[in-house]
Chain A
């Protein structure tokens, strides 16, 4: 039963991960990614890492919704009405992906791991909770503070108006006519003053 569910879920996760980069619609790509993550979360629950799987699921549900909204906001072709291949260095990327799969898979297949294949017991989540709030509290707290710093940093980066005026006021992309104007700037002002 567990094996059947594992094979189904791993198939779903890998196939939907592949579909992410093969669909024309970016919103659909976001939702394929969510399906892939959900399957990974189910596999984690099968491995009796329930806390981890459910945290992953909760986080990804919100994250992918935000991602879909971002797609609609920013992308020129969010609905997939036109066929779309927006790729560069395609062959090198395929080669890199296949190579990394082969390398990591070889580690998985040929590596030697401790033989103690022991599924964790039932109360693993309770024990994890005690661990997180006792000995390993520093790690947990560090993760929380990191997330807080990330929120502040993301707001600081994304906010339009910074502390010293508009964030994009003096940061227009340097164009050709701009540099010419800059070169001819001083003479024209001299003429104007004369």
Chain B
């Protein structure tokens, strides 16, 4: 468990998230890809906090902000999915050709 291996794991999570967010058609699966990217970012932040920043408590605040971002993204994303489904009956990206409501 070194900085390098931990950052490699974080990079792998981020890469899988990028793949998922770009390739999936379903809105909820795209959100899963975004969540994976954020979890890779949280892991990298925790790694650098613990192993490079000396473990001072201030370093964890960035990770707390990232967790908040994750919750916000999830809530707003689900609200948008509900609204888009209600108005346009669309649950995959291919059904949304225009942004007009």
Q: How far is the CB of A67 from chain B (nearest CB, A)?
A: 7
Chain B residue numbers with a CB within 8 Å of A55 are 64, 67
A76 touches B91 (CB 8 A): yes
Residues 90-138 of A at the B interface (beta carbon under 8 Å): 90, 92-94, 96-105, 107-109, 111, 113-114, 116-121, 124, 127-128, 130-132, 135-136
Q: How far is the CB of B48 from chain A (nearest CB, A)?
A: 7
Chain A residue numbers with a CB within 8 Å of B46 are 43-44, 47, 49, 52
Chain A residue numbers with a CB within 8 Å of B16 are 14, 17-18, 20-21, 97, 101
Chain A binding surface SS class: helix
Chain B residue numbers with a CB within 8 Å of A171 are 87, 101
A74 touches B91 (CB 8 A): yes
| A residues contacting the other copy or chain, number (CB 8 A) | 93
Q: How far is the CB of B17 from chain A (nearest CB, A)?
A: 7
A13 touches B9 (CB 8 A): yes
Which one of B18, B86, B91 contacts A96 once the chains associate, using CB atoms below 8 Å? B18
Summed over the interface, the residue pairs from A and B with CB atoms below 8 Å come to a total of 260
Chain B binding surface SS class: helix
A17 touches B76 (CB 8 A): no
Q: How far, in whole Å, are A20 and B47 apart by their CA atoms in the complex?
A: 24
Contact A74-B81, Cβ < 8 Å, known A21-B29, A43-B6: yes
Contact A139-B61, Cβ < 8 Å, known A87-B23, A97-B16: yes
A108 touches B17 (CB 8 A): no
Q: How far, in whole Å, are A102 and B18 apart by their CA atoms in the complex?
A: 12
Q: How far is the CB of B100 from chain A (nearest CB, A)?
A: 7
A143 touches B68 (CB 8 A): yes
B64 touches A52 (CB 8 A): yes
A79 at the B interface (CB under 8 A): no
Chain A residue numbers with a CB within 8 Å of B60 are 49, 51-52, 128
Task: Among B68, B80, B86, find the residue whose CB has the most chain A CB atoms closer than 10 A.
Answer: B68
Contact A150-B76, Cβ < 8 Å, known A21-B20, A96-B22, A174-B100: yes
Q: How far, in whole Å, are A51 and B71 apart by their CA atoms in the complex?
A: 16
A17 touches B26 (CB 8 A): no
Q: How far, in whole Å, are A31 and B16 apart by their CA atoms in the complex?
A: 16
Q: How far, in whole Å, are A86 and B91 apart by their CA atoms in the complex?
A: 11
Q: How far, in whole Å, are A119 and B50 apart by their CA atoms in the complex?
A: 6
| B16: nearest chain-A partner, CB-CB | A17
Chain A residue numbers with a CB within 8 Å of B78 are 66, 70, 154, 158
> 11 other contacts beyond A44-B42, A101-B16, A108-B7, with CB at 8 A cut-off?
A10-B5, A17-B13, A26-B26, A33-B36, A70-B81, A88-B25, A96-B18, A100-B15, A116-B52, A121-B55, A136-B61
- Give the 6 A-B CB pairs with smallest separation, nearest first: A108-B7, A101-B15, A120-B55, A97-B19, A93-B23, A104-B11
